[in-house]
Structure 1
Amino acid sequence: MDMGFFKNQFSNVVEWEEFRDDMIFWKWSNREIKKGSKLIIRAGQDAIFVNNGKIEGVFQDDGEYSIDSDIIPFLSTLKGFKFGFNSGMRVEVLFVNTKEFTVKWGTQNPIMIPTPQLPGGMPIRANGTFNFKVNDYVTLIDKIAGMKDSYLVEDVKIRITSVLDQLLMKWVSREGKDMFNLQANAYEIARGIREDLDMEVLNNGMTITGFQVMSFNYPKEIQDMITKTASHEMVGNLQKYQQISMTDAMASGKLQGGGTASDMAGMMMGMNLANEMMKNMNQGQNQNPKPAAEKEQSSANSTPSQGGSKPNFCPNCGAKNEGANFCPNCGQKLG
C-alpha cells in the first residue's frame, strides 16, 4: 500500500484558494491543519491565525512555510502543540488583501442643495473616487470576519454610498461658497467627506486613505446658464478674447506656422487696429456730438491745403505722418 497516500490524507495546504482582486479577506476554516501541512502566502497577502476568535499570530512575508516547524513555534498560545498520529489542529486562517483599493462612486439621484437662488434647492450630481485599506486586524475580525467567510470591495462601497448623499449635502452646504462653481471648492468638500467616511469605516478595521470629487454636474438649464455667463464675461475682456481668437486661428490652420513672422505680425496689427477702433467708438459715445458748422470747419481744417498732398498728422488719431497713404497707427486713409 502506498504510504504516500496516507501521508497526503494527513497533510494539507493552507492558502487563499478563492483569491479575487476585489476581495478584502478570505477565511480558510472548518478544516484541521495536520502534521506536514504547508502555508502559502502570496505577495500582497497577510495570513492571520485565529483560535476561538483570538489572534494567535500574523505572518506578512510571502513564501511557503512548514506549519509545524515554521509557524507553530511563533503562535502565542499554541507553541506547545504536538501533532498526534492522526490528530490535527483546528484553527482558522484569515488571509487579508493588504493593498489600497480604489473605488469609483457617483450619486444615483440628484442631491437637493439648499441655495437662496432656488427656493426648492439646486439639484446636483457628483462623481469621483475613494481609496481605502485594512488597518486594524483585531477590529476587522471582531466586527466582520467573525461572522463572514469573505468580504468584497462592493460591500464597502454599499456602506459608503449609503451615507454619501448626506455627507455631500453637509459639506457642499458648508464649503460651497459659490453654488454655480462648486469645483472651485472641491478640495475642501472632499477633505471633509473623507474625514467623516473614515469615522464610518473605522469600527470595521479599515481606513479611508483618499476621497476625490472629480466633477459636479448641474441640470441642463443651469449648466447652459453658467456657460452663457462665462462666455459673456470672456468676451467682455477684450485681451482674453484676442488671445482666444489667436489660439483658435492657430489651431484651425488659418494662422499657418511656416513663415510666419509676417503672419503673426499681421495678426497683431489686426488686433491693435481692433483695439483702436473699440477705443474710438467708446470715445465717440462719451463725447457730445459737434454742431454741423463745427463739423464742417473741422473737416475743412483736415482737408489738405494742396490737392494730392498728404496731411502731416492723422485727422483720426493725431499720429505723425510722413507721406503715407494710410495712417501707420490706426489705418485711417490719408488723402
Structure 2
Amino acid sequence: MAAARLVEAAAVSKPRALKEGMNNMAFFGNQFSDVVEWNEFRDDMIFWKWNNDEIKKGSKLIIRPGQDAIFLNNGKIEGIFEDDGEYDIESQIVPFLSTLKGFRFGFNSGMRVEVLFVNTKEFTVRWGTQNPINIPAPQMPGGMPIRANGMFQFTVNDYTTLIDKIAGVRNSYLVEDVKIRITAILDQLLMKWVTREGKDMFNLQANAHEIGKGISDDLNMELMDDGMKITGFQVMSFNYPKEIQDMINKNASIGMVGDVGKYQKISVADAMAKGGSSGSSSAADMAGMMVGMNIAKDMVETMKESNGGNQQAANGQGPNFCPNCGQRNEGAKFCPNCGQKLV
C-alpha cells in the first residue's frame, strides 16, 4: 500500500515536504469522477496535472509504474504517493493528506482536488549545434567554425521547486520544453569549455569527456531552479569544416608513418592511383619515374652495405649483415641472432 511521506512544517525546504496547518479544503460540486489517473500519458511527458473533476466517495487512484502522484491544495503539496497500484481514495489516501486528515466522504458530494502525476524515469535527449560555433584558433582571425552533437540525461528531483516554478502555472510539461531551454545556452557553454585551459583545437575529441563534464555541471545549475537535475552530458563528436578536416587527416597520416621518405612513397603511390583513374598518363609516368629513382637509390645503398660487409670479411671482421638470417652485425664473428659464423 502506498503511504504518503509527511514531514513537519520546519522541513518545508526538503524536496518532498508536506506542509501542516494549511486551510481546509472541501469544495463540493456536481461533476464527479470515479477514477483519478494519468489520462494523457506520453513517454516524453515530464508531468501532467489532473484538475478538471471532483472526487466522490468510492473513487480510485491509479498509479502506474514509473509515476508518482502528488495531491495539491492551492498549489501546495498535501501528500506524495510513490508506489504503483490501485487505491481507494477515501480509506487509503485521504488519511495521509496533511490538511484533510479529518475529512471523510460523509456526503454524496465530491471533493475538488488537483493531482500532479510525475514521470520518474531518466530522460535521454539528443542534441546538436544548430549553427557552427566560431572557436578562437591560432592564425585564424575569424575563429574556426565547428559543430558538435551528443546526448544528455535528466530527471525530476525536487517536487516543491517543480510546482513553484512550472507546475503551478502549467498543466503539462514535455521533454522538448527542456531541450529548447538547454540548446538556447549550449553554444555559450561549448565555447567556454572548449577554449578552457588551452585545449588542442585540432583534437577536441580527445577532451570530449572533460568538456562534457564541465557543461553538465553548468547545465545542472540551470535546471536546479526548475526542480530538475542533469544526470549526464556526452559530446559524441566534433565536426570541422572539410578543409580543416582534410588537413587534420593529412597530419595524422604523416604522424602515423613517422618517416618522411615513406610518406613520399605513399604520396607517389596516391598520385599513380589518381593518375590511373583519371586517365592522365603523364602523372602516372612521373610517379613511376620517381618510384624507379627511389628503388635505384635503395639498391645502391644496399650494394654499398654489401660491399662494405665483404670488405670487412676480407679484413677478418664480420660482415654488416648475417647471410643466414639478415640480422645486422656490429663486427662480431658470430651472428648474435642465429649463431651463424661470420668470419
TM-score when normalising by structure 1: 0.71
CA distance in 2, matches of 1:303, 1:116: 55
Q: 1:203 aligns with which of 215, 219, 225?
A: 225
CA distance in 1, matches of 2:116, 2:252: 56
Does structure 2 retain, via aligned residues, the 8 Å contact 1:14–1:37?
yes
Does structure 2 retain, via aligned residues, the 8 Å contact 1:175–1:189?
no
Tell me the residue number matched to 1:107: 129
**Which ranges of 4 or more aligned residues in structure 1 deviate by more than 4 Å?**
301-305, 311-315
Deviations along 1:47-87, one digit per CA (max 9) or x if unpaired, are: 00001111000000000000000000000001111324332
Deviations along 1:220-273, one digit per CA (max 9) or x if unpaired, are: 0000000000001111169xx9xxxxxxxxxxxxxxxxxxxxxxxxxxxxxxxx
Tell me the residue number matched to 1:124: 146
CA distance in 2, matches of 1:93, 1:230: 59
Deviations along 1:65-114, one digit per CA (max 9) or x if unpaired, are: 00000000000001111324332111100000000000000001000011
1:150 aligns with 2:191: no
CA distance in 2, matches of 1:330, 1:231: 30
1:39 aligns with 2:61: yes
Structure 2: runs of 5 or more not aligned: 1-30, 264-293, 329-343
Does structure 1 retain, via aligned residues, the 8 Å contact 2:33–2:53?
no
CA distance in 1, matches of 2:204, 2:183: 20
Percent identity for Structure 1 against Structure 2: 73
Question: Structure 1's 304 and 96: CA in aligned 2 closer, same or farther, altered over 3 A?
Answer: closer
Q: How many equivalent residue pairs?
A: 260
Q: 1:58 aligns with which of 48, 66, 80?
A: 80
Deviations along 1:198-228, one digit per CA (max 9) or x if unpaired, are: 0111111000010000111100000000000
Tell me the residue number matched to 2:25: none
Question: Structure 1's 13 and 176: CA in aligned 2 closer, same or farther, altered over 3 A?
Answer: farther
Question: What's the CA shift for 1:177?
Answer: 1.3
Question: What's the CA shift for 1:31?
Answer: 1.1
Does structure 2 retain, via aligned residues, the 8 Å contact 1:131–1:208?
yes
Does structure 2 retain, via aligned residues, the 8 Å contact 1:110–1:124?
yes
CA distance in 2, matches of 1:44, 1:303: 84
Q: 2:114 aligns with which of 60, 69, 92?
A: 92
CA distance in 2, matches of 1:183, 1:97: 34
What's the C-alpha RMSD, in Å, of the aligned pairs? Answer: 3.1
CA distance in 2, matches of 1:303, 1:218: 57
Tell me the residue number matched to 1:25: 47
Question: Structure 1's 175 and 187: CA in aligned 2 closer, same or farther, altered over 3 A?
Answer: farther
Does structure 1 retain, via aligned residues, the 8 Å contact 2:123–2:153?
yes
CA distance in 2, matches of 1:85, 1:107: 59
Question: What's the CA shift for 1:44?
Answer: 0.3
Does structure 2 retain, via aligned residues, the 8 Å contact 1:10–1:35?
no
Structure 1: runs of 5 or more not aligned: 1-8, 242-276, 291-297, 306-310, 322-326
CA distance in 2, matches of 1:172, 1:205: 28
1:75 aligns with 2:110: no
